[in-house]
Amino acid sequence: SGLTGVASAETSCAFADNVRRAWYSQPGSVVTAFSPVTGRLYTMRCAGADTDAWSTSQRCTGTNPQGDPLIVYIS
């Protein structure tokens, strides 16, 4: 979408877009987002991150059921 960035192999672009929607619609730094690829909900913890691409982005992290990291950057 140009408004999200996927930073882990286990994360899809569609999920990253849903994390962004969750960040802007749910209060607090912990959000729940749906993955259309796996059909599951994931808890993601978001914190400010300064990147070369976006100066005021959020880095959201979580894990899948296998323990693999899920990392999404949102603007």
The span from the CA of 56 to the CA of 40, in Å, is 28
Considering the entire predicted model, what is its pTM? 0.88
pLDDT digits (tens, 9 = 90+) for 3-57: 777 778 889 999 999 999 999 999 999 999 999 999 999 999 999 887 776 677 8
Q: Which of 39, 45, 36 is nearest to 63 (CA)?
A: 45
Task: Compute how many other C-beta atoms are within 10 angstroms of the C-beta atom of residue 45.
Answer: 12
